[in-house]
Structure 1
Amino acid sequence: MTETPTDFADMTLDELRVALAPDIAASAIFDGWNETALLAAADMAGVDPDIARLAFPRARPMDMIAAWIASVDQAMAAEWPAERLATLKIRERIRTLVAFRLEAVAHIDEAVRRALAVMAQPQNAARALQLGWQSADAMWRLAGDTATDYNHYTKRAMLGAIYSATLAVFVNDDSEGKADTYAFLDRRIDGIMKFERAKAQLLNSDRELPSLTRFLGRLRYPAR
């Protein structure tokens, strides 16, 4: 089956950034996240280099990395919509989504390594944290999480930390099929599940505890 050519001419700049991002990532394996990779991606896609430069002013690495992460987010949502994930248990939903993201970049792990190095630079720390949060939020939403209280924040913070740690293992993993990475991921997800169960038990036990105020009141004013 022949794929329909992408019509870049009708795209907005925001759409073009995301569309070019996978080819930029492929070029970043060799050239790093820079203008050389951008122009190589434009050439592969058949996009006017001046338009590509307009989409990525000054070819800032973090802009290209952000667009690449957005492209992975979009691909993840297309492959694993909420209704498809709904047939799985919550643990498997999260594992499936993280595994999809790993598989999506398995052939360009050098680009991932270079991206992590850029994101680790002090001037990029705040934006890197924001991008990690957005991806964690996308995963939890697809997984069906509707929490709006503090659980909303703790879940995303934990998943973001697990995902970034897993990526760090991934780029240095020489085991067959990245087996060590997936074993690491499974252990970390098990940790989340145990934490959530313990938290639920604690909250339930708090509700079952007698009121301290009522207890002290009875000591002071015993029932007759």
Structure 2
Amino acid sequence: MIGSTVRGALTGLGSAGRIGALLAEIGNGGLSERLHPDPARDAAVQAMLPHVGMHGWSVAAARRGAGPDADLLFPGGPAEMVEAHNDLLDRLLLEAGETLSETRLSRRVRALVLLRLDLTSADREAVRRGMALLALPGHRIAAARMLARTVDTIWRAAGDTATDWSRHSKRAILAGLYLATLLFWLRHGDPAETASFLDRRLAGVARIGKLRARLSGAARLSQR
């Protein structure tokens, strides 16, 4: 079930080309504007989570968890419910990031990615259902908004203060890493395996960065 949903999510979010376009949108900025916090909406999301496994992100789950009028808090329908859940998790991550003891930026980013997944460990089925919903036609922009907000939250919680072009490139790179790690986690679920997968991806990014630096240095020398 999870494997088929992951395949569906990859197909729905896009082929390699469409995923690349989505990451480019994130890298260009403009998608990470925060939602306005709403305590009533947060409470409704938390109350409906136990029902999402059976009913999906739906009016039925909202009403069963938070009362007969709970769906009125989400005029955008199920996709807005998923977005509200994602936004709540981002804010919880931002708070949790203040307690991290890691000081190196790269290690803080790693810890925050894993913490973001850990925050949803009890609601993995709800996340899976949300990914399946976002894989449906018409939800690509909503998916991009959520991914952009999450990676922006991770960088902010890590302490990144860049304002130049690197701000956007960092977010585009992390978006790809986070999406791949999220899909791996949905498929396998094991925290240790997920951490190892993330470490391999981070190591790959580091190798590419070093190679680019060497090539850039060589190019500068050849121009002298």
| CA positional deviation for 1:99 | 0.8
Amino acid at match of 1:189: L
- Measure the CA separation in 2 of the matches of 1:95 and 1:37: 33
Aligned to 1:65: 82
**Following the alignment from structure 1 to structure 2, what is the Cα–Cα distance between the partners of residues 133 and 54?**
26
Matches within 5 A, 1:47-62: 49-50=68-69, 52-57=70-75, 60-62=77-79
Deviation at 1:77, TM superposition (A): 1.0
Give ranges in structure 1 of 5+ residues lacking alignment: 1-11, 44-48, 213-224
Cα distance change, pair 189–35 in 1 and its aligned pair in 2 (3 A): same
Deviation at residue 94 of structure 1 after TM alignment: 1.0
Q: Please, which of 146, 168, 174 is the counterpart of residue 131 of structure 1? A: 146
Aligned counterparts, 1:139-218, within 5 A? 139-173=154-188, 177-203=190-216, 209=221
CA RMSD of aligned residues (A): 2.4
Q: Which amino acid is 1:36 matched to?
A: A
Q: Which amino acid letter does the alignment assign opposite residue 75 of structure 1?
A: L
Q: Secondary structure at the match of 2:188?
A: coil
Cα distance change on mapping 1:197 and 1:146 into 2, 3 Å: farther
- Structure 1's 88 and 31: CA in aligned 2 closer, same or farther, altered over 3 A? same
Structure-2 change in CA distance of 1:149 and 1:27 (3 Å)? same
With the length of structure 2 as denominator, give the TM-score of the two structures. Answer: 0.74
Task: Give, in whole Å, the separation in 1 of the partners of 2:49 and 2:179.
Answer: 18
1:120 aligns with 2:135: yes
* Contact 1:29–1:110, Cα closer than 8 Å, also in 2: yes
Greater relative contact order structure (CA < 8 Å, 6+ sep): 2
Query: Counterpart in 2 of 1:30?
Result: 54
Code of the residue aligned with 1:69 in structure 2: it is N
Q: 1:62 to 1:99 in 2, by over 3 A?
A: same
Contact map agreement 2:105 2:160 (CA 8 A) in 1: no
Cα distance change on mapping 1:202 and 1:23 into 2, 3 Å: farther
Asked if the contact 1:18/1:70 (under 8 Å) is kept, the reply is no
CA distance in 2, matches of 1:146, 1:199: 23
Give the structure 2 partner of residue 77 of structure 1.
Answer: 94
CA distance in 2, matches of 1:15, 1:125: 27
Q: State which drifts further: 65-74 or 196-205.
A: 196-205
What secondary structure does 1:80 align onto? helix
Q: What secondary structure does 1:123 align onto?
A: coil
Q: How far apart, CA to CA, are the structure 2 residues paired with 1:193 and 1:144?
A: 19
Percent identity of the aligned residues? 33
Question: What does 1:13-24 correspond to in 2, within 5 Å?
Answer: 14-24=38-48
SS at the partner of 2:138? Answer: helix
Deviation for aligned residue 1:157: 1.1
Scaled by the length of structure 1, the TM-score of the pair is: 0.74
Task: Give the Cα separation in 2 of the matches to 1:189 and 1:121.
Answer: 30
Structure 2 unaligned runs (5+)?
1-35
Supply the distance in 2 between the matched residues of 1:150 and 1:113 (Cα, whole angstroms).
33
> What is the identity, as a one-letter code, of the residue corresponding to 1:67?
A
